[in-house]
Amino acid sequence: MLTCTKPGLIFFFLIFSVVPYYLLAQLIHSPNQYSAEIGTYISTSTETPFWLRSNQYGIVPNRSPVSSLRVGLYSDYDTSRHSTGRWKESKFDVRYGINFVANTPQNLLSYEKSLLLPEAYIAIRRGIFEAYVGRQREKFGLADSSLSTGSYAWSGNAIPVPKIQISIPVFTPIRFTKGWVAIQGTYAHGYLDAQGYIRNKLLHQKSLYLRIGRPSDVIHIYGGLNHQAIWGGQAADPTGIPGTIPVGGKLPSGLINYFYVVTTLNYGRTDTQQYTFFDLTNRVGNHLGSVDVAAEIDLVRHTLYIYRQNLYEDGSLFYLLNIADGLNGVRLRRNDPNALVRDILFEFLNTTSQGGPVFVYDDPNRRGKDDYFNHQQYRDGWAYRNHTVGTPFIAPALGSQDQYPYGTFTANNRVYVFHMGLAGKLPLRGRQLLAPVSYQVKLSFSRNLGTYDNPFQSIRDQFSAYASLGVPLRMLGGLYLNASIAGDAGDFYQNSFGAYIGIRKSWNR
């Protein structure tokens, strides 16, 4: 499977070889959740405002106006299999989901599709373990899940990558620690886009996080890391690039190179026919991720959550050269789900250091110029279908589609971001309201410096704002009104003001 280049063949193998037939038989049970939503995006410019399209799993086009239809059905795990709060470890269970999105924009960009499938997965659980195949919405990293700018490495900004994943999906106590230490982790193999400069790329992904502290304790300490790697694939230009891409364009693949990707080892390779100078002096593939720490403190009426993501991509974090870079956040949450202000979040993202402006592969003191999300071989960058997989504040250079992706993926990866978020419930009453009205506010100010190789002539400041309301209505057996406004002002994006309004209907069987 590791050298397979056709996503259809991958899914065929996974579904009919990995998933046992007696588990697939459970899928004949009807879904227990259905949803349908229809809505419209409008904007004063041709560009959809930043916070209306970012961290939306790639389903919102970059251009407005656009109408959108979203239909989904899901089947969750059978809760009757639980016994006194403990999972019956001798039982398998299955969940699945599928979600369609149809967009009708006026000026769709070349890489955007009018019909999307952001979710289509089958998951199997037994005991503390879960395995799934397909596409599923996920985020990785110790950060806030709703108000954040998004985790550095995997933020929910791009459409989900098709993959097979084995995981311990929730923090699970390690028995011999008497509940003091809990573990959560994932291990995945995925398939990236068949288009672009390097085609049929593969994804290796893993994460491991620990929690210290029992569930009832006042303080919990978290720590761990996530590792993402692009590897394999075939260059669009078979002539290659001397020292970087071999003649024929095929990049290292197969089991032995999968071993190098998983372990990140960069020695033991001598075949100059298979490996270029770039491969021999670096690691096989494009590697990145974050090393995270966090603390959660119960203040009785509130819960305080503090987190830090340290960035790595080119070895400079090992020598602490880019330690100034990272995502820093603090969230104060009121322990009342109906509070007027339930969540207050502050974040600061810095990606300007990158270990300094010079990279010398054999000098530990000069392993800088990490050039986040760009790569000399994988010139499509850390992206899936032209959407940044990581933080949306390192955006693709979409201004020159004729040259992209044969040039640099992003023209701006040295940024400062100051961000604030608010969320809560409004104390509104009415006969037509099924529940309290929820709201969210996001305010972001960024300073954009360009890259070390191509800095902007002057710093480009950008302000982006967002506010949304969620209104549960009684009419027609229960509807949910989504209303959002957003605006951009500055030198990096078009100055614009936009809005989204949609109606969602959900059914539970």
**Residue 278 resides in a domain:** no
For residue 496, the one-letter residue type is S
CATH number of the structural domain spanning residue 88? 2.40.160.130
Give the pLDDT of residue 406: 43
**Residue 244 resides in a domain:** no
- C-alpha to C-alpha distance for 243 and 172, rounded to whole angstroms: 46
- C-alpha to C-alpha distance for 392 and 500, rounded to whole angstroms: 20
Are the CB atoms for 349 and 362 separated by under 8 Å? Answer: no
- C-alpha to C-alpha distance for 276 and 257, rounded to whole angstroms: 14
Burial class (CB in 10 A: 0-12, 13-18, 19+), 356: middle
Q: What letters, b where the CB count within 10 A reaches 16 and e where it falls short, cover 174-196?
A: eeeeeeebbbbbbbbbbbbbeeb
Q: Where are the beta strands (DSSP E) in 62-151?
A: 66-75, 82-83, 86-87, 92-103, 115-126, 129-135
SS3 377: coil
Give the pLDDT of residue 209: 98
15 is written with which tokens? 């579904």
Nearest Cα to Cα of residue 196 among 44, 405, 49, 336: 405
**Residue 240 resides in a domain:** no
Q: Which one-letter DSSP state was computed for residue 154?
A: B
Are the CB atoms for 376 and 244 separated by under 8 Å? Answer: yes
How many other C-beta atoms are found inside a 10 Å radius of the C-beta of residue 248? Answer: 12
What is the SS3 assignment for 180-198? CEEEEEEEEEEECCCCCCE
Give the pLDDT of residue 4: 46
**Residue 263 resides in a domain:** no
For the chain, what is the largest distance between any 2 Cα atoms, rounded to a whole number of angstroms? 74
- Cα end-to-end span (Å), the chain: 38
**Residue 243 resides in a domain:** no
Give the pLDDT of residue 236: 87
**Residue 273 resides in a domain:** no
**Residue 61 resides in a domain:** yes
Question: How many domains does the chain fold into?
Answer: 1
- Rounded to whole angstroms, what are the CA distances from 397 to 48, 343, 369? 16, 33, 19
pLDDT (tens digit per residue) in 336-380: 999 999 999 999 999 999 999 888 777 777 778 899 999 999 999
Give the pLDDT of residue 407: 57
Give the pLDDT of residue 475: 86
For residue 43, the one-letter residue type is S
**Residue 138 resides in a domain:** yes
Give the pLDDT of residue 106: 66
Give the pLDDT of residue 400: 42
Residue 442 contacts by C-beta under 8 Å, 6 or more apart in sequence?
51, 147, 419, 420, 421, 464, 465, 466, 467
Burial class (CB in 10 A: 0-12, 13-18, 19+), 239: exposed
447 is written with which tokens? 């300073």
- Nearest 10 degrees: CA dihedral of 287, 393, 119, 424? 130
- C-alpha to C-alpha distance for 331 and 294, rounded to whole angstroms: 11
Nearest Cα to Cα of residue 377 among 213, 211, 253, 223: 253
The parent domain of residue 359 ranges over 7-232+285-508
What is the DSSP secondary-structure string of 378-394? -TT-SEETTEESS-TTS
Nearest Cα to Cα of residue 159 among 103, 209, 93, 87: 103
Q: In the chain, which stretches have pLDDT less than 50?
A: 1-5, 7-9, 11-12, 15-16, 27, 83-88, 399-406
- C-alpha to C-alpha distance for 407 and 387, rounded to whole angstroms: 16
Residue 160 contacts by C-beta under 8 Å, 6 or more apart in sequence?
57, 118, 119, 135, 136, 137, 138
